[in-house]
Amino acid sequence: MRQSPLVVVANRLPIDDSMAPDGAFEWRRSPGGLVSALHPLLRHTPAAWVGWAGGTGPAPDLPDVDGVRMHSVPLTGDDLRDHYEGFANSTLWPLYHDSVEQPEHHRRWWEAYQRVNQRFAEAAAAAAEPGGLVWVQDYHLQLVPGLLRQLRPDLRIGFFLHVPFPPPELFMQLPRRAELLGGMLGADLIGFQRAQAAHNFAQLVAKVLGVPATDRSISVGDRVVRIGAFPIAVDTAEVAALAAEPEVAERASRLRRDLGDPDRVILSVDRMDYTKGIEQRLKAYRELLASGDVKVHDTVLIQVAVRSRDRVAQNQILRDRVEHQVGRINGEFGRVGEPAIHYLSQPVDRTELVALYRIADVMAVTPLRDGMNLVAKEYVAARVDDTGALLLSEFAGAAAELEQAYLVNPHDLEGLKQGLLAALRATPDDVATRMRAMREHLRHNDIRAWARSYLSALDVAGSLPGRLTTTG
């Protein structure tokens, strides 16, 4: 196996499940998310990506994609059920999102989580060159830093948590809390989306493991583990350039015509997940239709809800409820040729997504809890004419940066309705002032600034190529 100076370790490989006719794979780019963030950084860079290719059985041999070496980790059906759907997404995911749904605990799931994390650690150890950097991603792989340190003490190991890290009273519920914290502490640098998450982690380490901890560093034996906030970003320039392309502009105009040229278009783009606040948003919209504050002919809501983790029971139930709710609202308020809600559950390609951003007068991003939410940042980056209103949940990590958005508490139905009306009725001057400020922030805090901040902190020896640790 060829070794690389930088290895990214994530649950999934960043490739489409299907091959092109010429045998090549392409990057899998979903709205927001890890792949969209790292894609511009790793192309044509001497890097490797360790992850699961999808499906069960032996790991396939994969070609390089845009110069990035792909190392596939095999998962069995039991691994998929007990590690991914079980411990990762039915124990950790709900707990880390404020127990919006009740976490489940099963010993079999924990055993699978350990087994799969060991497999990922071994694959990363094989892929990294001596003294290299390994960047482990997210809650699926919290044990990997500690396991990898045992296998390869020569490596610099980073860990980044994309989701929120919960307050101590929630995390303390976990039967395996000490092991999870210890696994993360195998890293040299642990990054979180927000400073509050780093604070929560430091408190827990001191309480559960009894080691000296501050919001910036933790002493583990003879090592010092640094921690901090590194809010993830988007490729602002790439999104803006795509939004300005004639093809996207024409597609946006056609979409608006297809919608009947309404006065206002509201857009929401989410994974189908109970943390995203889709039901609450639809309920608020229905009440605005019922009160007459919003009229179907004048205003259109487009809800993109991409199916995700279909085998997780709560998401199956949610999908059925959302589709029933959409059908009910369209039945009550829609007309022939004029549905109240245009609902899409299939993935949307990059060009189509940016065209949707361009026609959205209001972008409604109202998760109940979210580590960051890059869709909100992508929308701002796509508004190249400084128009468009962002309605944003206070409980999305992006709210700490995009302070000029129309901020709402998605748990408060009346507040959500009033926030939506405020965004719909805002004056052009108010909208432009807010959007200009948010776009300026994203220009200075884009994906390159994020990568430079994190990787420079991790790469104390200066072994990475300069293009990864500079903004150029």
pLDDT at 398: 97
pLDDT at 395: 97
pTM: 0.92
Q: Is the dihedral of CA 102, 108, 111, 116 positive or negative?
A: negative
CB within 8 A of 63, min separation 6: which ones?
23, 24, 25, 70
Residue 370: active-site member: yes
CB within 8 A of 119, min separation 6: which ones?
73, 74
pLDDT at 26: 65
Mean pLDDT, 10 residues at a time, the chain of 472 residues: 89 73 60 64 81 90 86 96 95 92 94 98 97 96 98 98 96 96 98 97 97 96 96 93 97 96 97 94 98 96 87 80 97 93 92 97 97 96 98 97 98 98 98 98 93 88 58 42
Query: Using CA atoms, how far apart are residues 413 and 104, in angstroms rounded to an integer?
Result: 28
Query: Using CA atoms, how far apart are residues 313 and 317, in angstroms rounded to an integer?
Result: 6
pLDDT at 313: 73
Asked if the domains 4-232+447-468 and 236-444 are classified in one and the same CATH topology, the answer is yes
Which entry of 97, 162, 199, 441 is annotated as an active-site residue? 162
pLDDT at 472: 42
Which entry of 370, 441, 446, 459 is annotated as an active-site residue? 370
The answer to whether the beta carbons of residues 392 and 408 sit under 8 Å apart is: yes
Domain spanning 236-444 has what CATH number?
Answer: 3.40.50.2000
pLDDT at 328: 97
The answer to whether the beta carbons of residues 68 and 48 sit under 8 Å apart is: yes
Any idea of the CA torsion for 133, 137, 139, 144, to the nearest 10 degrees? Answer: -30
The superfamily in CATH containing domain 4-232+447-468 is Glycogen Phosphorylase B; (3.40.50.2000)
User: Where are the chain's structural domains?
Assistant: 4-232+447-468, 236-444
CA 131: distance to chain centroid?
Answer: 29
The tokens for 197 are: 């998450």
Residue 162: active-site member: yes
